[in-house]
Structure 1
Amino acid sequence: MNKFSRRPSGDEPSGDDDADLSGTEDEQRHHWLHDRHGAIGAALVLLVVVVAFGLWLGVRALDAKSSLEQARDSAQQAKDALLEGDTGGASRFADEAQHHAEAARDATHSVPWNIASVIPWLGSPFKTGQQISDVVLGLAADVLKPSTDVGVAISPDQLYANGRVDVQLLRNEEPELSSLAENAARLNAEAGTISDPGYLSLLSDARSQLQDQTSDLARLLETTALAARLVPPMMGADGPRTYFMGFQTNAEARGTGGLLGGFGILRFDNGVPFVDDLGKNIELTGAVANVDLGPEFNQQYGFTNPKTDFRNSNLSSHFPHAAQIWKSMWAQKTGMNVDGVLAIDPIALSYLLGAVGPVTMPDGEIITKDNVVELTESTAYIRFPTDTVARKNYLQDIANQVAQKITGPVDSPRALLDALGRAVSERRIAVWSAVPEEQALLEQTPLAHIVPDDAAPYAGVVVNNLAGNKMDYYLERNIEYVADGCDGQTRMSTVTVRLNNTAPADAPLPDYVAGTEGLARNVPFEVPRGTMVTSVRLLATANSSVVSVLANGERIPFSQSMERGHPSYEVQVLIPPGQSGELVFRLSEPTSAGAPRVPIQPLVDTVVPVVAVPACSG
């Protein structure tokens, strides 16, 4: 029998209290449905909010991605236009970069993005996106846009005209260039601290690209600002300057590039260059350099008489050593104290001839960018196999014609600047100043060619010709520098050097090219014609120690010394024509902070080293 409860009325007792609280089944069902509908409604509202938030965030993310990509592309185009001297295009692209950067910053600092960025783990890419947009906007507004204004003032056509560099114009723009360099350095530092986006690899790529872009721009502006400080005084803005300019013959390798084959005196007066006193290297015969380059230099090179024999004056790859010797030799020979020293090689001359056009010799022979290297490094020795005076006169005439062409008015200052830049990037032009403040600034640039006196990873491979021949015209080099990680205080590293003598075994080369006149007469073995007799020296990371040195897989003896705080390991090798060899230096080196450096000695061949050395934080 079913029992029904009813609601009491008046004073009537309620009876079953539990039944009164629970209500009827219909009422219970009604309450349950009402609660369920309420929960579903709340969930639906929440879902709508989440979806709307997601859509909102997605739209802003797409906006940010598109704007950042466009800002990055416009920024790169602005930089390229500046380097090409297209100041109008640079200004337009800089405006576009700033516009897109502002849009990206608005998107990444919108409400949904700000909310998402503070969510643990999930928000890491959003935080990264905000940091990226901030740096991109700063890059566009604080660096690129004002750079275009300066670029208009110091464009190549404005800076160099009618054979004169406008040194005062460059000096006037130096404060603004230094300010731009500081802004670029600040933004580069900010880019380096952009957080890891975690799970979103797309932003990892964007972060890496931005860091590379800001680093390149910071270096460019730093170099430009340094040039604005250095060029005016060094080019005679405050009075005439004179420089000893050495022409290096890198068919016979020396530490700074090649044998000092000839020279000239380069003068600057208020930005106007001209060359006089071109001479042959033999004019320095008997000159004595009165300079003190320290006990390490004396121990390593003293026995070769570098201060009295110009042929051995630049065995060290530290260019200031050779520069001071040349300056002192010239002063002792002539009484002239130059203000600095420059060095250049035939490959650099070929780049410059490509910019200014060919020159014509007195006999009608045309010297071009395509034949000047072969003529000066090879053909001259075959054309004049025994007449040393005629050969030196010929080479001096070429140097004179090229120098006059380069220092005169040119049709395209932009092309000349590009050629100089290429030569500098390949270490084919070196500069030293006798003014200490200027030299300190030069040592912050690639022009100084110094062996750095610091602890960062270093592998400097230096080749010197011991045979006194010109066989290094046929030398090909490959250099690899690899090292373990940064976990311990020291790590194993390996420097591999491969040398190839590309001269055919039956090549009809004159004795001056293929002989061994530089060897001592009492050498207890026969050296075939065309053999490279070569000193190979490795300047290693400071405080390194050698484990072994291998030649074609076999241990060989080596000599050890020090140069500017770097341990120096030297071996001597013979490479007959058409043959090659491999040297492997196995080292234990400190896990020092800094990026690895592998300077390339400027010889005839072009070397791109293989470097696999982790940069440690120290």
Structure 2
Amino acid sequence: MTEQGTPPAASRRPGGPRRDAVRVPGDGPPGAEARIRRRVLKAALLTVAALPVAAAVWIGVTGVFARSELVAAQRDLEALRQPAMSAQSSHFARQRLAAVRSAAVHAARAHRLTSGPAWYTAALLPVAGEPLSTVRGAASAADRLAGEVLTPLAGALPAAAPDGHGGGMAKALMGLRQYAPRLVRAAQVTAEVRADVHRLPGTTWLSAADRARDRLARQLDRLAPVMTDVSVAARVLPPMLGAQGERHYFVAFQNIAEARGTGGVPGAFAVLRADRGRLSFERFGNNTEMSTVDADLDLGPDFTARYQGDAPTRVWANSNMSPHFPYAARIWAAAWRKHTGERVDGVLAVDPVTLSRFLQVTGPARTADGTELTAANVVDLTERTSYARYGDLTRRKAFFVEAARAAAGRLMAAADDARTLPGLLLAAHGAERDGRLKVWSAHAQEQQLLASRPYAGTLPDTPGPFAGLVVNNAAGSKLDYYLDRSLAWQAEGDGCAAGDRPVTATVTLANRAPAAGLPSYVTLREDHPPYRTRPGDNRLLVSYYAGVGATLTGAELDGRPAMLSPGVERGHSVFTLDLELPARSRRTLVLHLLEPHADRTPTLLRQPLVTPVRTVLKPGGACHA
């Protein structure tokens, strides 16, 4: 017998552990295994509980760094606005591109800092994650804009030759041809980013994120149309500037002291030649030369029905009564071919305000008699002062041609200088944005691209809320220099209501012409009205363009019932009033309409005259269903 508790010798293995040293389930003190499980569970719970804290710390730290990167990117882009950086030497061109690339690097870092698992997961949380989603989206937008939009745009801008002169437009043409695919893609990216930013949460618990999102959305709302213009220009400007062969264009200078649908009555004109980016004017003339030319053109039954009494294809002064610029352009091109046998490749229209924008870049121009044309005086000189200075009609018309020739000469010299070319492009963009520079191409594919842009001057024929005030001078005077216009559009009722919606359009016209002291040519009444008038009294055909399918239920002029003539142009309902507007008077026309789709802000038609039209648009109650 062995001692009690000692195992038999046969049960031992040489070199092996003692049996009582082996832990098996169920052995050991009661509850030990439960305590171990509790410790493991507690550690796991602590780890899980610490994850949100760690994630919050990570988001906070990376958020600070991301904000720093975005601020750095913004500083780089702000530097592009400095006068030195806009200079067009090769040195500053390199600086410009370096600044854009630096902004792209900073924006990319901000995007990476807000793209990790912590940010992604936290942004999915309801309510709490909304501002994080906004921040992530804004960083992504900044990354794409800097890298895919601004970089190709900066590279496409021309740099000057070492001496700063020569070949500006030709070099810009080469740059457009080279960068066209990237510029088209940049416009697409801008549209995509704009849509993405507008989908981001706009009202969260973090006001700073909301403000940043709203600021970015506004910037994109301004940038997207510009990039679309750049995209269209990259595709149409090379052929239009003669990259594939010589082109010729009829250029009309509109006199906005006498209102017409596209702006002002066509006065002086020129023929512009473009050959591989080199521009030159071949001929100048005035409206007297074109006054007896019959364009012999059929623009369709709707156009004929609306304007047949004014004979726009036969009477040069009435050729642009319609606000749809392609109508006027086709008439002018057909009339020029009838007059000379020459076919033009397109038509451009400018006015003195456009010349003022260009002269601000080029500097003053001088006419043959020494008259100085500047950005500050060209509008007043051509639209008012010249009528008092030149009593003889022939001499006055000759002055208008000389003024156009002098301004065109400065413009051509500036277009050939890469230092001033970017400024001219910005001036042209401002003029086309205001509807003062209009372009039409006789080539169908080019015109199809141009048609959707503001500088095409097209009257859209698509359904939707619409508001347009168009005046045509019916007196033959030059009194529209003194004309003030305002238009207030207001939809009424519930935006959820089906069918047509009530709309009130209020038109106010004021004649600021002095009662005495104006030259007789300014105040003449070629309409010879059967009633008595005084010098300075004006007469206008006032047309209101409503949406497609709109109907007029009533109208008042100065508080009394008024009868308007109905018409249709490119699908739009048009209502016209023949209005006498005495000197120093103000008249108010109120139209009551029923208009389909009047549940949002209307598309606005702006007729460019000396004084811009003032507008107030009130879409009315929104739909909350």
TM score, norm. by length of structure 1: 0.85
- Answer whether contact 2:600 2:619 (CA < 8 A) is retained: no
Q: Does residue 1:354 correspond to 2:360, yes or no?
A: yes
In 2, the alpha carbon distance for the partners of 1:209 and 1:541 equals 32
* Structure 1 residue identity aligned to 2:578: Q
- Alignment correspondent of 1:13: none
1:39-50 maps to which residues of 2 (within 5 A)?
none
More displaced stretch, 375-384 vs 126-135: 126-135
In 2, the alpha carbon distance for the partners of 1:89 and 1:613 equals 46
Q: 2:596 aligns with which of 566, 590, 593?
A: 590
Q: What's the offset of the Cα at 1:42?
A: 11
Q: Does residue 1:396 correspond to 2:404, yes or no?
A: no
In 2, the alpha carbon distance for the partners of 1:45 and 1:238 equals 70
Q: 1:190 aligns with which of 184, 189, 196?
A: 196
* Structure 2 residue identity aligned to 1:501: N
Percentage of identical aligned residues: 34
In 2, the alpha carbon distance for the partners of 1:326 and 1:571 equals 27
Distance 1:76 1:178, change over 3 A: farther
CA-to-partner distance for each residue in 1:152-178, whole Å, 9 max, x for gaps? Answer: xx3577999347533344222212212
- Secondary structure in 1 aligned to 2:536? coil
Q: Cα RMSD over matched residues?
A: 3.2
Q: Does residue 1:58 correspond to 2:56, yes or no?
A: no
- Answer whether contact 1:236 1:268 (CA < 8 A) is retained: yes
More displaced stretch, 510-519 vs 67-76: 67-76
Q: What's the offset of the Cα at 1:508?
A: 1.3
- Alignment correspondent of 2:445: 437
- Answer whether contact 1:477 1:497 (CA < 8 A) is retained: yes
Q: 1:513 aligns with which of 516, 522, 528?
A: 522
More displaced stretch, 299-308 vs 363-372: 363-372
- Secondary structure in 1 aligned to 2:456? coil
Q: 2:463 aligns with which of 440, 455, 459?
A: 455
CA-to-partner distance for each residue in 1:320-339, whole Å, 9 max, x for gaps? Answer: 11111111111112211211
Q: What's the offset of the Cα at 1:78?
A: 5.4
Q: Does residue 1:494 correspond to 2:496, yes or no?
A: no
Distance 1:118 1:374, change over 3 A: closer
Distance 1:116 1:452, change over 3 A: same
More displaced stretch, 170-179 vs 226-235: 170-179
In 2, the alpha carbon distance for the partners of 1:352 and 1:79 equals 20
Q: 1:574 aligns with which of 580, 591, 601?
A: 580
More displaced stretch, 45-54 vs 258-267: 45-54
* Structure 1 residue identity aligned to 2:404: A
CA-to-partner distance for each residue in 1:318-369, whole Å, 9 max, x for gaps? Answer: 0111111111111112211211111111121122222222222333222222
Q: Does residue 1:282 correspond to 2:288, yes or no?
A: yes
In 1, the alpha carbon distance for the partners of 2:578 and 2:221 equals 40
Q: What's the offset of the Cα at 1:403?
A: 1.9
More displaced stretch, 315-324 vs 100-109: 100-109
In 1, the alpha carbon distance for the partners of 2:621 and 2:80 equals 31
1:145-224 maps to which residues of 2 (within 5 A)?
145-151=151-157, 154-155=158-159, 161-162=166-167, 164-166=169-171, 167-196=173-202, 198-224=204-230
In 2, the alpha carbon distance for the partners of 1:72 and 1:612 equals 35
CA-to-partner distance for each residue in 1:236-269, whole Å, 9 max, x for gaps? Answer: 1121111111111111100011111121111112
Q: 2:134 aligns with which of 128, 138, 141?
A: 128
Number of residue equivalences: 574
- Alignment correspondent of 1:473: 481
In 2, the alpha carbon distance for the partners of 1:527 and 1:227 equals 49
Q: 1:144 aligns with which of 150, 155, 158?
A: 150
Distance 1:54 1:289, change over 3 A: same
Q: 1:600 aligns with which of 606, 613, 618?
A: 606
Distance 1:192 1:275, change over 3 A: same
Unaligned runs of 5+ in 1: 1-38
Distance 1:165 1:117, change over 3 A: same
Q: What's the offset of the Cα at 1:49?
A: 6.7
1:38-117 maps to which residues of 2 (within 5 A)?
54-71=56-73, 74-75=76-77, 87-117=93-123
Q: What's the offset of the Cα at 1:583?
A: 2.1
CA-to-partner distance for each residue in 1:5-35, whole Å, 9 max, x for gaps? Answer: xxxxxxxxxxxxxxxxxxxxxxxxxxxxxxx
- Secondary structure in 1 aligned to 2:251? strand
In 2, the alpha carbon distance for the partners of 1:222 and 1:69 equals 27
Q: Does residue 1:119 correspond to 2:121, yes or no?
A: no
In 1, the alpha carbon distance for the partners of 2:619 and 2:73 equals 33
In 2, the alpha carbon distance for the partners of 1:611 and 1:437 equals 35
In 1, the alpha carbon distance for the partners of 2:209 and 2:367 equals 59
* Structure 2 residue identity aligned to 1:448: A
- Secondary structure in 1 aligned to 2:579? strand
* Structure 1 residue identity aligned to 2:425: L
CA-to-partner distance for each residue in 1:218-248, whole Å, 9 max, x for gaps? Answer: 3222211211211111111121111111111
In 1, the alpha carbon distance for the partners of 2:111 and 2:594 equals 48
- Secondary structure in 1 aligned to 2:369? coil
* Structure 1 residue identity aligned to 2:603: R
- Alignment correspondent of 2:369: 363
Q: What's the offset of the Cα at 1:316?
A: 0.4
CA-to-partner distance for each residue in 1:95-124, whole Å, 9 max, x for gaps? Answer: 343343334334433454344323333222
- Answer whether contact 1:280 1:396 (CA < 8 A) is retained: yes
Distance 1:161 1:456, change over 3 A: farther
- Answer whether contact 1:247 1:344 (CA < 8 A) is retained: yes
1:282-321 maps to which residues of 2 (within 5 A)?
282-321=288-327
- Answer whether contact 1:591 1:616 (CA < 8 A) is retained: no
In 2, the alpha carbon distance for the partners of 1:550 and 1:504 equals 27
TM score, norm. by length of structure 2: 0.84
In 1, the alpha carbon distance for the partners of 2:102 and 2:276 equals 39
Q: Does residue 1:415 correspond to 2:423, yes or no?
A: yes
- Secondary structure in 2 aligned to 1:337? coil
More displaced stretch, 262-271 vs 161-170: 161-170
Distance 1:614 1:76, change over 3 A: farther
- Alignment correspondent of 2:490: 482
CA-to-partner distance for each residue in 1:434-462, whole Å, 9 max, x for gaps? Answer: 11111111112221101011113221210
